[in-house]
Chain A
Amino acid sequence: MIFKRFARTALVVPLLLSLISLLSACPQPPVIQEPTVEAGQRLFWVNDLADYDGWHQIGVDKVYEGDRCVVWVRRLDAADISVSLLEEFGQHFDDVSWNNVTSYVHQPTEFFDDPNGQVVNIVFYQAADNIAGYFWSKDFYSTETYAYSNETNIFYMNIGAAVYSQNQAAATLFTKGTLTHEFQHLCNAHYFTFGDGANRSEMDTWANELCSTTAESVFSGQFPVYVNVFENDQDNDFKSGRTDFLAWDKGTALSGFTPYTVAALFGGYLLSRLPEAARPKLIQTFLAYTGQDDQSTNSVSDLLLALQDPEVAYAGGADWVTLDPLNLTNAAVATDWAIVMGGFVHALTGKDAAYLTYLQTVAPDVSHIDDGLDPPTLAAGTTSLSLAMSGFAIGRTKVASLDSTSLADASTSGSAAWLLAWNGAIPGSFSSPVLSSAATFAADEFLARPAVASPLSRDLTESGYPTWVRDSPTAADTTATATTRQLSVFIPGLGNVGNPSDGTTDGHLYGAYAARP
């Protein structure tokens, strides 16, 4: 009896362990029987299913067919999302995303003989990770080129992000932003594949994401999402200067959502510095300068060239150096980039009236912006700060003179001040694999942040959040722009040589101080 039990155990346990090991070590894809395709249904290739590892053709049903989109849902995941919600998303795309993104970015002209006509296919399914949605330009190519191309205008949406039982209103708002975000990527890629930018260099990834986060924020009401993420700084990125966005999420310990937050707030800042009539021109002009026959080889200088274009008329101030696209110098690009970066970091303190007014106009439901932004700041006791290229941080300190540009002037006495620090190095200006510059401070030079004004419990729905807000600037917005207080941050060359850098004498760290109430 005992022997029999032992024998059975000895047989079963190794078998089970072997089975578990085999399954975990070499996960064979489960057999998924996708329903056969019938009239009104389609098959699309995806490679990030929650229940399958690898490329797979999913069978999808048409749920919504509008003027400019067809919304599909994977049949095997259809029970996870309601038809009414999918219809709401389709309606949002038709009414908001298509109209605004095609007007402000680029209108697709190639529809690949799609059986549904001149539409964008939007596919909802349960995707494997925390991606809310994505666009992939391989779908523009023939299957002879990319075997898994779907050969149509298409982007992909994760049902896991669109459905959130604890707060469906917030998930719905967020997903509408994702529709506009991914559609900007599609139109952007269209421009460089079929439009005026065909066979020119594409935008840097950070710039492409800047266009998407700006579009979703302005047209699909996402500024409140990003303002809340910024102020709460749950991942401690803003408090520690892990804010560099030029390398996107490569090369630093950036949290996944932080670069999107920085890009959205940066896009809003740029728009707030433009005359109202020029705002619709920003992304189009940025696209037009990208990959041109000039000496600009990256999106930083392309953006600066776009900003100084008369169509855009960015308010750079008296210290702005007019760039010659056929004779670009590092010093000139660095000077203008410092003006843009310094102004942006200053705006994040909440003391830039034009920025606040613009956010209030585009997202009037963020009522607490009336009192200014509440920026996350360097922790009290901070003694060192390391910033990668385009990284920035804000500290609460004191300084003898607000005109100082030296980080070493942060003090325990003097005027109450915001310390604004950023790494203004520009792409191609240095080659060290360690892309950071560090500064040190005395232990008591930074003051603690007061209690956070917008606690995590703050919810988008608590203030009766509308489904979406279109960009309709008012006269008050224009007036406020004209009376903007300018932050003087002219620092010649590649940073203030008095500030620490990565071992070179020309420096990359910039410092500025602004009066703190």
Chain B
Amino acid sequence: MEELLEILEEMHPDVDFTTCDTLIDSNILDSFDIIALISEIKLEFGVTIPPDEIIPENFNSAKAMYELIERLSD
């Protein structure tokens, strides 16, 4: 989780990713950010996120993203 938070904070230093759970719904992360994030996740965690997993529920919070990473690495 720490690594993920680091990646996110590097992208948007002004956002509190530990509490925010409307990252997509509030347009904090746009599609550009999502792609950059997916690429970083691939490098950092070795997890490939397929296009059909790119839905708001999976990216609205750092917690949801981490759960996605864990689920896909199983």
Answer yes or no: do A and B interact: no
Chain A: residues with CB nearer than 8 A to chain B? none
